[in-house]
Amino acid sequence: MKSFFKVACSGRIARSALMVTAVVGTILNLINQSEALLAGAAISWFHLALNYAVPYCVASYSAAKNELSKKGDE
């Protein structure tokens, strides 16, 4: 388990996950909060954070699992 977190937090995987997060999180925010954004109303900061956190977790988890399966360290 320790090696999984070490791999998931590696620079290459973190950078890749951040790029995915920037695109997917922005799209999710536009979908989920478009009414508030268009009306100029207050947005939900909690949901904004979740819309970016979830894609980051999914991307880094997938990349780390893939990396470990290549090495046979599952």
Given the structure tokens 């991307």, which residue do they identify? 59
CA-to-CA distance for 26 and 38, rounded, in angstroms? 15
Q: One digit per residue, pLDDT tens: the chain, 74 residues?
A: 778 899 999 999 999 999 999 999 999 999 999 999 899 899 999 999 999 999 999 999 999 999 998 877 55
CA-to-CA distance for 20 and 1, rounded, in angstroms? 24
CA-to-CA distance for 36 and 17, rounded, in angstroms? 27
CA-to-CA distance for 57 and 34, rounded, in angstroms? 23
In angstroms, how far apart are the furthest CA atoms of the chain?
A: 52
Q: Check residue 39 and give its pLDDT.
A: 93
Range list of β-strands (E), 1-74: none
Q: Check residue 12 and give its pLDDT.
A: 94
Q: Check residue 71 and give its pLDDT.
A: 76
